[in-house]
Amino acid sequence: MTAALADQARLDLPGHWPAALGPRALAELDAQTPFLAVDLSTVADRYAAFTAAIPGISPFYAMKCNAAQDVLGTLAALGSSFEVASIGELRMLQEIGVDPAEVLYSNPVKAPHAIAAARAAGLWRFSFDSEGELHKLAQHAPGAAVYIRLRVDDSTSLFPLSRKFGAEAHEARALMLLARELGLEPYGVTFHVGSQCATTSAWRQAIAAAGALMAALLEDGVHLRMLDLGGGFPSRYVERVPPLDQIAGTINAALEELLPYRPALLAAEPGRHLVAESAVMVTTVLGREVRAGENWLYVDVGAYNGMMETQQTVQQWRFPLWTSRTDHALVPHVPFTVTGPSCDSSDTMFYGVNLPATIEVGDRLYIGSAGAYTLSYASHFNGFAPPEPVFVGGPAGTNATVQRIPSQPHVPSSPAVPLPADTPSHPGTASLAAPASRVATVLPPAPPLRAAGPPGEARAGRR
């Protein structure tokens, strides 16, 4: 091997991928592509690391990023709580035995029927960011606990979310007092620094804004019981991101320095951070062509059936790539445009990515860090089926011990009842394990559920 090729191999080799998802391990998987290879032990390890990094933190997994039942079951068994954006997501959790009382409903804008159904099921904490939402909550979930979502600076994130959601700081105090007037409990404050946040200072600025609101409300006799740090905790793709210990250091210092008091519940809503690096998308090369001097590679997964996030950034987001070729690190690499299987020319994911010059039809392309916002975004566009998850590891692989940090006693609620039949069930999975069955032994069983119908509401934002 030449020195140049050796340097390239060191740069490209996915050494940070879990061992169970290395190229050799992936080559041994005999499943129809496209599929998502998921290592559940990595999910468990990421959860343990997160809880250890921020003392006293209670994670509420943002299930919108990956709602595969085995992922949910793994996290529930470790003691995680959950954050939902729709009644459909709450139903998925009930199916594996998660108590709705341990769930946050963090979509700031909800349908009246969704509010009523969630409250009837036992969920008691709802987010909001407007006066209109407060009136809906007061009517359809009287006496519920509410937490306000602040608009904060998310300009250093890959996916900013503040245009669509978040109350301005100068409005927040009055909104929380209105909640009290309407018979709701002003319970907490949350924010979102944007998905895949790249700077630790964003958390400090957001915590400062939350602390200022908490201090102002003290003057009104309101003592908040929850501070929710939201999501935005990044995962590694191609570009490096701040490591968790650096983010945690900033957060821990800000909590000590910028809050007038420590709320009883310190929550966070990690999503991408827990699951992205736990999975690799495995896809097969369908065609290779040269068009106007440009190398094109056609594969059987595309933006519409799993890789939608490649369409949502200005420069097309870069994912780490590898191939099944044994000469991957030994031969020259040339730039390719990688496109999906559909008839839509915009179904193109990567531009100018370097891949082996020898790659050919039938080879497999491995797309790393694909555990978040792939399955949950996938559609049947053009009749192409979404990828199925294939689980290659289990939480038994972790040595960490994680204990649930109990939530506060919730306000009295109606007995749990089945959710309406107009909500979706969980997607099918090709599972090699069934952690959900273990969850049911330690969590209250879900009530009987009626058949699912049309899809429910859209999600409130990435985590």
Interval 411-445: pLDDT, tens: 433 333 334 343 333 333 333 333 333 333 223 33
Given a cut of 50, whether residue 260 has pLDDT beyond it is yes
Task: Tell me which range, 51-55, 176-180, 403-407, is most confidently predicted by mean pLDDT.
Answer: 176-180
Least confident range from 8-22, 213-227, 254-268: namely 8-22
* Domain boundaries along the sequence of the chain: 7-37+277-393, 39-273+430-439
Cβ–Cβ < 8 Å for 248, 54:
yes
What three-state secondary structure class fits 26? helix
Instruction: Enter the tokens of residue 126.
Output: 């709802």
333-339 and 103-105: which strand pairing?
Answer: unpaired
Q: What is the mean pLDDT of residues 101-105?
A: 97
Average pLDDT rounded to a whole number, residues 350-373: 94
Nearest to 72 by CA among 366, 389, 398: 389
For the segment 336-355, the average pLDDT, to the nearest whole number, is 92
Active-site residue (options: 170, 343, 383, 441) = 343
Burial class (CB in 10 A: 0-12, 13-18, 19+), 75: buried
Q: pLDDT at position 274, please?
A: 94
Nearest by Cα to 93 from 378, 391, 449: 449
In terms of average pLDDT, the best of 135-144, 406-415, 416-425 is 135-144
What does the block give as tokens for 53?
């990094």
Rounded-to-integer distance, Cα 369 and Cα 246, Å: 21
Looking at the predicted structure, is the pLDDT value of residue 385 above 50? yes
**What are the start-end ranges of the H helices in 370-443?**
435-439
What is d(CA 61, CA 99) in angstroms, rounded to the nearest whole number?
14
Residue 127 CA neighbour count, 13 Å, CB half: 30
Has 343 been annotated as catalytic?
yes
By CB atoms closer than 10 A (0-12, 13-18, 19+), residue 334 is middle
Taking each helix axis as running N to C, give the angle between helix 169-181 and helix 131-140, from 0 to 180 degrees, rounded to the nearest 10: 20
At the fourth CATH level, the homologous superfamily of domain 7-37+277-393 is Lyase, Ornithine Decarboxylase; Chain A, domain 1 (2.40.37.10)
Asked if the model's pLDDT at residue 289 lies above 70, the reply is yes
Could you check whether 7-37+277-393 and 39-273+430-439 share the same CATH topology?
no
Q: In sequence order, which residues have a C-beta less than 8 Å from that of residue 52 and are 6 or more positions away?
A: 400
Tell which residue, 92, 447, 14, has the closest CA to residue 83.
Answer: 92
User: Which phi-psi region, left, alpha or beta, contains residue 245 (left: φ > 0; alpha: ψ -120 to 50)?
Assistant: alpha
Q: Alpha-carbon Rg of the chain, whole angstroms?
A: 23
Q: How many CB atoms lie within 10 A of CB 190?
A: 27
pTM above 0.85, yes or no: no
Q: How far is CA 91 from the centre of its chain?
A: 17
Chosen CATH of 39-273+430-439 out of 3.20.20.10, 2.10.60.10, 3.40.50.150, 3.40.50.300: 3.20.20.10
Question: Among positive and negative, which fits the CA dihedral 223, 170, 159, 347?
Answer: positive
| Per-residue confidence (pLDDT) for residue 10, from 0 to 100 | 39
